[in-house]
Structure 1
Amino acid sequence: MVEPESIENDIPKMAVITGGGRGIGRAITERLVAHGWHCLIAGLDREDLEKTAGGAGGKVATLECDVSTEAGMNALTAMADRQDEELKLLVNCAARSTPMPLFEQDEQVWRAELATNVTAISMLTGWAISKMRHSGGGSIVNIGSVYGRLGLNSRFYNQDRFPQDEDEGPVRAVAYHASKGAVAALTRDLAIAAGKWHVRVNTVCPGMICIPERPIEPERKLQFREWTPLQRLGRPEDVAAAVEFLASEDSSFITGAELVVDGGWSIW
Structure 2
Amino acid sequence: MKPQKVAIITGAGQGIGLEIARKLLNTGSQVILNDKEVGLTDEAVASLLQMGKGRVLGCSGDSSSLEVISEMVELAMHHFGQLDQVVANAGITLFGNFLDYSLEDFNEVMRVNQMGTFFLTQAAARVMKDQESGGSILLTSSVTAHQSHQNLAAYAMSKAAIEMLAKNLVLELAPFGIRINTIAPGATLTKRTTSDPEYVKIWSKLTPLGRPAFTSDIAEAAAFLLSDAASHITGQTLIVDGGWTAISPSPYA
Q: Would the TM-score normalized by the shorter structure come out above 0.5?
A: yes
Cα distance in 2 for partners of 1:184, 1:119 equals: 13
The answer to whether 1:253 aligns with 2:232 is yes
Residue 210 of structure 1, CA deviation: 1.0
The answer to whether 1:23 aligns with 2:15 is yes
Aligned equivalent of 2:166: 187
The answer to whether 1:141 aligns with 2:138 is yes
On the 8 A contact 1:68/1:112 being kept in 2, the answer is: no
**Equivalent residue letter for 1:257:** Q
Cα distance in 1 for partners of 2:135, 2:65 equals: 25
Q: State the SS of the aligned residue for 1:192.
A: helix
Offset from partner CA, 1:119-172 (integer Å, 9 cap, x none):
1111111111111122311100001001111110x4xxxxxxxxxxxxxxxxx2
The answer to whether 1:267 aligns with 2:246 is yes
Aligned equivalent of 2:32: 40
Indicate which of 89, 92, 110 corresponds to 1:93: 89
Task: Choose 1 or 2 for highest CA Rg.
Answer: 1
Offset from partner CA, 1:167-205 (integer Å, 9 cap, x none):
xxxxx2222111001001001011221111111000000
Aligned equivalent of 1:151: 148
Q: Aligned Cα RMSD in Å?
A: 1.5
The verdict on how the C-alpha distance between 1:225 and 1:91 changes in structure 2, with shifts beyond 3 A counting, is: same
Residue 219 of structure 1, CA deviation: 3.9
The answer to whether 1:208 aligns with 2:204 is no
Q: State the SS of the aligned residue for 1:67.
A: coil
Q: State the SS of the aligned residue for 1:108.
A: helix
Indicate which of 177, 183, 187 corresponds to 1:198: 177
The answer to whether 1:227 aligns with 2:206 is yes
Cα distance in 2 for partners of 1:52, 1:138 equals: 25
On the 8 A contact 1:13/1:85 being kept in 2, the answer is: no
Identity %: 27
Residue 79 of structure 1, CA deviation: 2.5
Cα distance in 2 for partners of 1:123, 1:39 equals: 19
Residue 216 of structure 1, CA deviation: 5.1
Cα distance in 1 for partners of 2:56, 2:113 equals: 24
Residue 101 of structure 1, CA deviation: 3.2
Structure 2 gaps, min length 5: 248-253
Cα distance in 2 for partners of 1:210, 1:15 equals: 24
- TM-score relative to the length of structure 1: 0.86
Cα distance in 2 for partners of 1:129, 1:68 equals: 16
Q: State the SS of the aligned residue for 1:15.
A: strand
The answer to whether 1:69 aligns with 2:65 is yes
Cα distance in 1 for partners of 2:71, 2:126 equals: 17
Residue 61 of structure 1, CA deviation: 0.2
Q: State the SS of the aligned residue for 2:86.
A: strand
The verdict on how the C-alpha distance between 1:43 and 1:217 changes in structure 2, with shifts beyond 3 A counting, is: closer
- TM-score relative to the length of structure 2: 0.90
Cα distance in 2 for partners of 1:89, 1:149 equals: 26
Cα distance in 2 for partners of 1:208, 1:176 equals: 15
